[in-house]
Amino acid sequence: MKSLLPSRVFLTLAGVLTLALLTPVAAQPPKKTIKVGFAQTGAESAWRTANTVSMKSEAEKRGIDLKFSDAQGKQENQIRAVRSFITQGVDVIVIAPIVETGWDPVLREAKRAKIPVILTDRTIQTADESLFACFIGSDFYEEGRLAADWLAKFSGGKGNIVELQGTAGSAPANERRKAFGDAVAKYPGLKIIDSQSGDFRRSGGKEVMEAFIKKHGKAINIVYSHNDDMALGAVQAIEEAGLKPGKDITIVAIDAIKEAIEAVAAGKINCTVECSPLFGPKVYDTVAKLLAGQTVPKKAYNKDEVFDAKNAAAALPSRQY
């Protein structure tokens, strides 16, 4: 039986097939690697170390080229790092500002270079909020309020308080101090008798607490610490003075690192308020949205929790930091 199609049709189809086989497939352009510059405050505490680990490990997981800078507690080092990131042409800059003020000039440089800036953990003071894309962190004022409210109930609204402040001029120190002071003012029986910076460091907390004990002695009933590391330093100073932390002196802190929750479970710290350092996933989700041209919330807060004798032991097995 003869084919119903003319022979020239077969020749045409064969030619098309041959051409298709010989024509190279256009190569797909390689996916652009996202470059992010992260200006970290330093490594002053266990919380900060966990924060750095979260940012680095999540960047590696997502294939992000992270340019990391440890400012060693100096704002001038952070500003220098940001300028270096701008020169390197990163896609997004992330800053955990050491202090709140003095950022406008370098942020204007980033804006002129069309590099969006994300503030993480700590806020800044500026009259021009267009200089940064968004803030991702915790509500420091709320943390201070939660600590004060817990203390008022636990102490019956009575006691002399010494305060271990964080780094002078930093957002968490400013907000945690103000919130705690505002809340304590509602209870005439609670009085802050001394306040000094331990710079968020365990060694600083120990040194300041030693000075408080030498100055005020048994007049101290309560320690309010702006972070767990200083509180743990205060525990050492109290024990060395022959007193029992958590019993002779009530201790209230903020951060909820695992070591502090262990101290709560052991009765050496009475309460610690959550301030999660695990910002990596949320920060890089936001980076992706910004680079895709999407709108992101100007402020995004993590949810905080209070840990005391009632729930500390149960929380320990699931702690990541």
User: What are the boundaries of each domain within the chain?
Assistant: 35-138+277-303, 140-275
Joined together, the tokens standing for residue 150 give 């817990």
Q: In 10 A of CB 160, how many CB atoms?
A: 17
The helix (H) or strand (E) run that includes residue 234 is: helix 228-240
Rounded Cα distance, 18 and 223, in Å: 83
Q: What's the rounded Cα separation, in Å, for the pair 285 and 281?
A: 6
- How confident is the model over 259-311, as pLDDT tens digits? 999 999 999 999 999 999 999 999 999 999 999 999 999 999 988 899 999 99
SS3 225: strand
Q: How many CB atoms sit inside 10 A of residue 171's CB?
A: 25
Instruction: Tell me, yes or no, if the pTM score tops 0.85.
Output: no
Answer whether 296's CB lies under 8 Å from 232's CB.
Answer: no
- In what side-by-side order are the strands of the sheet with 35-40? 65-70, 35-40, 92-95, 117-121, 134-137, 299-301
The domain made up of 140-275 is a member of CATH 3.40.50.2300: yes
Is the pLDDT reported for residue 189 higher than 60? Answer: yes
User: At the topology level of CATH, where does 35-138+277-303 sit?
Assistant: Rossmann fold (3.40.50)
> Do the domains spanning 35-138+277-303 and 140-275 agree at the CATH topology level?
yes
Residues 6 or more apart whose CB falls under 8 angstroms from that of 229 comprise 44, 45, 46, 47, 200, 201, 202, 205, 255, 257
Residues 6+ apart with CB under 8 A from 230: 164, 166, 198, 200, 201, 202, 204, 205, 208, 253
- Mean pLDDT (the chain) is 92
pLDDT of the residue at 151? 98
| Segment 97-135, tens digit of pLDDT | 999 999 999 999 999 999 999 999 999 999 999 999 999
Helix (H, G, I), strand (E, B) or coil at 186: coil
